[in-house]
Structure 1
């Protein structure tokens, strides 16, 4: 266990404790550390960019989380069908998740380019309409980032697919004999049985949505009009552009608290809606 323990202490646990300490200091790398108490947190809650970046991130998460869960589940349902080339399609849909996030961001920037992008070219050639500005328009920049999730559904899809394959066929056969159609079987059998997996994927999607950074850094640089200036992007600029390490550490801990609260709320709500077979047996 010692390699894992040492790795955790030096690369995870140690930096976490150090960031908590630094969040109560004024530190810009070149000067000595100055303890300032909770001043960083007080300044943060009066910072307009804090609320702006947090609002943009919440807006993105509100769209991205449902989209990720619904699209991932739909994709898993399709790939769970017995068709020729099943393994090939599963591999192709999962493959983009192992590609560098920077490469994927550049690909989407090209696809959704309003001037020469493939998507707008197809819209004009096939339907005769001018496509939206995508990343260059403040109204469509966040939906454009949500659309980018199509190439990041592999992990969510695989987990859903594994849960679907573990469901007992006897329940579906009994329901079919009782006259239940596909939709009724889906909502009355599939959804309840995979509800723990939906909860897990939802929590992972929430955490990932609040940590979005690479896409905006590569494609939009926070624009247009600050509409893609996500919270982690602001934290990055604070730490590595302005070198306000203490202030950035306070930002990081506020983000941790927000994600922790959302996770706890998800678990609290799940007690009413999530079905656990083991609890039913007891």
Structure 2
């Protein structure tokens, strides 16, 4: 294979692996935004909490990071349900600016509360399989990244089946389409909103548990990832789970290829390229790739 092509092909594969993770953490935001019609600025920080659940489960209880994922799902899901019932539910009929300030306040509480409790130092999760590399020749990758990619796809598949085949999932979709009609049909709308918010936080926390295996953990890490979540959800199309998956893969590949292309010049500009691609797609299709035209 040509030495010119190899690094770009490698970047595409790396981008797909990263994109699968990006899609996973963005699914939570897509669900919350689609069902509650509330922009949760704290979504990246719920992901951060998932990282810390995995870190402390390993270091305090000796629980393997992969086995701590259900714990992360349950704990952060419960925290999300509590947040929805005590805060988000109270502002459902409030002006958008009130909703924005409320979720932004949640961001500050979680982020700087976490910094106060956990400290500002960087932590990492290390296991016997953390440094295992698979592949040879022109491409290799961390085993845990490959596992994360396929688990992300599996979770997305289970999530889609849940929304399509279960009563609760169908009720959540009905609530997302029209809350008033769903309420008239006897669907417990408030309960569905709480479940949707809890699931959204829990899914992002699961992504955080995987992230902790190959990324440094800090209380302020939710910011950049939260921004990527918003880009992916808007790019894919508001309320489209399929769009979120595709959007995550596009962002992952764009970031990796741009990093390779600009490596010898200014590799740090790869994030700028991501946002240029994001803007170009929105100019061509303002509703997002799979969003409905209004």
TM-score interval (norm. to shorter)? 0.3 to 0.5
TM-score for both structures, normalised by structure 2: 0.33
Greater relative CO (CA pairs within 8 A, separation 6+)? 2
Structure whose CA Rg is larger: 1
TM-score, length-scaled by structure 1: 0.34
